Amino acid sequence: MSTLSTPAGAPPAQRRAPVRPARVLLHVFLAGTALAWLAPLLWAVFSALRPYGETSAKGYVSWPDTLTLDNFTNAFEQSDMLHYFGNTLLIAVPAVLLTLFLSSMVAFYVSRFDFRLNLALLLVFTAGNLLPQQVIITPLYRMYLLTDLPGITASGKLYDSALGLVLIHVAFQSGFCAFVLSNYMRSLPHELTEAALVDGASAWRLYWQITLPLCKPAMAALATLLSIWIYNDFFWALVLISTGDNMPITSALNNLSGQYFTDPNLVAAGALLTAIPTLIVYFLLQRQFVSGLTLGSAKG
Amino acid sequence: MATDTPMKSPEAAAVPPPRRASGTGRDRQGHQRLLTRRDRITLGLMAGVPTLLHVALVWVTAIASVLLAFTTWDGIGFDSITWVGLQNFTQLFQDNPQFWPAVQHNVVWFVVLILVPTPLGLFLAVQLDKRIRFSRVYQTAFFLPVVISMACIGFVWQLVYNPDTGLINSIIGANEPGHYIDWIGDPDLNLWAVLVAASWRHTGYMMILYLAGLKSVDPSLREASALDGANEWQTFRSVIFPTLRPTNTVVLVVTIIEALRAFDLVFVFNKGAQGTELLSILVTNNIIGESSRIGYGSAIAVVLLVISLIVIIPYLIATFRKERRA
């Protein structure tokens, strides 16, 4: 029976090779799981799109009569969200640039010059980056309170200032970046800098004009990653900033939700609004983000 | 993990392998010999300034945590620091009703993350590695929670769990008085509720790490295994999984660190109320709370530090040893 049917059945089956039951099942499974994964976010979007009056009358799980963006505009305007986005920008941009600048210098030094210390140095940086933030927060908080900077920051201290947040972000993140960049730089041929050095180039030129331009892909990946991490930071600002007005957006969300977002629909809209910048960066620079994450996955 | 970076420099490929040696001893000494005095100063600053900043803000404070844990201090003048020995620790271990639950919750946090989302992330990675269509779309969906801030995730899941208006209670009809299920407030439930949210995020993270690991598995291994007649599960168990060892190490370390760092989500969810206490929450509440006790807070931080170092130090030693050999 089988010997008879095979010659007739096999050729068309081969031509239609893509349709395999296992594959179809896999797609059904993956699509279902992906949808389930998005469900909490979709639920937030759905709640945010409905007027509060309607949901309180009909319940949250009900067919929507009206879908509007009013909650988004209200959440954005009532809480003056733009101001907090501005705060974030003021912290994140210098922090990302400074982290990349400082950590690339350390990486350059560690990967190109064998002064006894280099392994220890890298070890210190990497280990520091893996510590939970709460390990250092109590003394850090006191240090920030005791550091007087009259005239430099609005608060007159490191505490409650954008400068203080930039510094701790830079100090904390530079460990991870130095580690990743030094690995990257070590994969660059040594002859390159060696030759330039023989030609009389200074150490600074070696770094700035020869090594850095070759590190662009790694720097791009790290920049993407750092932007999202610093944007998403909640803890540093929660403890090191006391004036609500000085908070970056992610930490401000906590205060705003009590003050302005008086119903769940507004909370949903407000929370989603804070996610939008990260989502834009992620969708535009997905490859950089993922490669950065896997390239130094020693990061928590 | 750090050594087998997926990003290869174009130069590395251009140079013949034997000479690519990343700086033999002689090379580096050659570098050093050619340096002028000014170069040495420049290099000193280049390495020194970032190190100073990092050490001052991260390591000095970590050590200060350790020292302060044995003192009491009002935080005003340095002369008010008094040595009290182990008093903070005995108080913490014996009298603080939140301490042992917090330790326990941190442990539960780790156990759940390593048992549920980690294998799930691996499973998804294996499926998505099969060169199927729409792989990118699926990946994006699973990875989305990793990109969003933990704080935002906390708010999103509050909407799911809210006893009155939340998705779950609305669907199962538990939002009527008398049938309430308080996912956020009930100390028997809230840790599990928040762990669902944490797992939701962790799965995507693990999936990405494993996908990167799977990409570096030699395809000929798989072919050889198929030729030997192994089925999919046998191939995975005896061929693929053993080669994922470096990834597994990273995954383990990342998961432990995540469990120790867990904070934002819980803080937004219910401020670490009864049922969801964590060490990180206790430290923070001690600072921003009403009665800040510096020495006491530091003692909690030291517990966190010791646990972290038990994990971090062996991991780094292994990583760097491998690197020196490479």
DSSP notation for A223-259: HHHHHHHHHH--HHHHHH--SGGG--HHHHHHHHHHH
Indicate the average pLDDT of chain A.
85
- Whether residue B260 is predicted with pLDDT greater than 80 in this model: the reply is yes
For residues B262 and B106, the answer to whether their CB atoms sit within 8 Å is yes
Residue A273 contacts B where some CB pair is shorter than 8 Å: no
Over the stretch A258-271, which tens digit does the pLDDT of each residue have? 888 888 899 999 99
Please state, in angstroms and rounded to a whole number, the distance separating the CA atoms of residues B100 and B294. Answer: 20
Indicate the average pLDDT of chain B.
84
Among B2, B156, B301, beta carbon nearest to A298: B2
Number of H helices and number of E strands within chain A?
16, 0
pLDDT category at B23 given cuts 50, 70, 90 is very low
Query: Which of residues 131 through 170 in chain B touch A, CB cutoff 8 A?
Result: 132-134, 137-138, 140-145, 147-152, 155-160, 162, 165-167, 170
For residue B83, list its beta bridge partners. B71
φ, ψ of residue A60 in degrees (nearest 5): -75, -30
Q: Which residue has the higher pLDDT, B288 or B118?
A: B118
Please state, in angstroms and rounded to a whole number, the distance separating the CA atoms of residues A76 and A73. Answer: 5
Over the stretch A272-299, which tens digit does the pLDDT of each residue have? 999 999 999 888 888 877 777 766 554 3
- For Cα atoms B300, A142, B83, give the angle at the middle one, nearest 5 degrees: 60
pLDDT category at B160 given cuts 50, 70, 90 is very high
Q: What is the DSSP letter of B82?
A: E
Mean pLDDT, rounded, for B305-314: 90
Q: Which residue has the higher pLDDT, B240 or B79?
A: B240
Kindly give, in sequence order, each residue whose CB lies less than 8 Å from that of residue B50, ignoring residues fewer than 6 positions away. A102, A103, A105, A106, A174, A178
Chain B positions touching A239 (Cβ under 8 A) are 284, 287-288
Instruction: Give pLDDT, residue B227.
Output: 87
Among A35, A43, A190, beta carbon nearest to B160: A43
B/e letters for B309-323, b = 16+ CB within 10 Å, e = fewer, are bebbeebbeebbeeb
Mean pLDDT, rounded, for A54-82: 88
Please state, in angstroms and rounded to a whole number, the distance separating the CA atoms of residues A204 and B221. Answer: 46
The tokens describing B204, both together, are 């995507």
Q: Please tell me the distance in Å from A120's CA to the nearest CA on chain B.
A: 10
What share of chain A in percent tops pLDDT 90? 47
Question: DSSP labels for B216-270?
Answer: TS-HHHHHHHHHTT--HHHHIIIIIHHHTHHHHHHHHHHHHHHHHH--HHHHHHH
> Does the distance separating the beta carbons of A174 and B54 come in below 8 Å?
yes
pLDDT category at A3 given cuts 50, 70, 90 is very low
Alpha helices for A59-161 (secondary structure H): 70-78, 81-112, 118-130, 133-146
Q: Please tell me the distance in Å from B184's CA to the nearest CA on chain A.
A: 15
> Does the distance separating the beta carbons of A30 and B65 come in below 8 Å?
no
Over the stretch B109-158, which tens digit does the pLDDT of each residue have? 999 999 999 999 999 999 998 888 888 899 999 999 999 999 999 999 99
- Whether residue B5 is predicted with pLDDT greater than 70 in this model: the reply is no
Over the stretch A152-196, which tens digit does the pLDDT of each residue have? 888 888 899 999 999 999 999 998 898 889 888 888 888 888 888
Q: Where do the CATH 1.10.3720.10 domains begin and end in chain B? A: 99-276
- Whether residue B323 is predicted with pLDDT greater than 50 in this model: the reply is yes
Q: Please tell me the distance in Å from A2's CA to the nearest CA on chain B.
A: 22
Domains in chain A: ranges and CATH: 80-295 (1.10.3720.10)
pLDDT category at B11 given cuts 50, 70, 90 is very low
The tokens describing A286, both together, are 């997905």
The tokens describing A32, both together, are 């279902």
The tokens describing A231, both together, are 């944007």
Query: Which of residues 197 through 226 in chain B touch A, CB cutoff 8 A?
Result: 197, 200, 203-204, 208-209, 211-212
Instruction: Give pLDDT, residue A9.
Output: 38
Query: Which of residues 175 through 194 in chain B touch A, CB cutoff 8 A?
Result: none
> Does the distance separating the beta carbons of B5 and A183 come in below 8 Å?
yes
Instruction: Give pLDDT, residue B33.
Output: 65
pLDDT category at B219 given cuts 50, 70, 90 is confident
> Does the distance separating the beta carbons of B61 and A235 come in below 8 Å?
no
Instruction: Give pLDDT, residue A188.
Output: 86
- For Cα atoms A298, B264, A178, give the angle at the middle one, nearest 5 degrees: 30
Please state, in angstroms and rounded to a whole number, the distance separating the CA atoms of residues B142 and A36. Answer: 10
Over the stretch A22-46, which tens digit does the pLDDT of each residue have? 888 999 999 999 999 999 999 999 9
Across A106-120, A285-299, B204-218, least confident range: A285-299
Among B49, B148, B309, beta carbon nearest to A102: B49
Mean pLDDT, rounded, for B57-64: 93
Chain A positions touching B183 (Cβ under 8 A) are none
Among B28, B124, B294, beta carbon nearest to A114: B28
**Topology of the domain comprising B99-276:** MetI-like fold (1.10.3720)
What share of chain B in percent tops pLDDT 90? 49
Over the stretch A190-240, which tens digit does the pLDDT of each residue have? 888 888 888 888 889 989 999 999 999 899 989 999 999 999 999 999 999
Chain B positions touching A287 (Cβ under 8 A) are none
- Whether residue B25 is predicted with pLDDT greater than 80 in this model: the reply is no
- Whether residue B263 is predicted with pLDDT greater than 60 in this model: the reply is yes
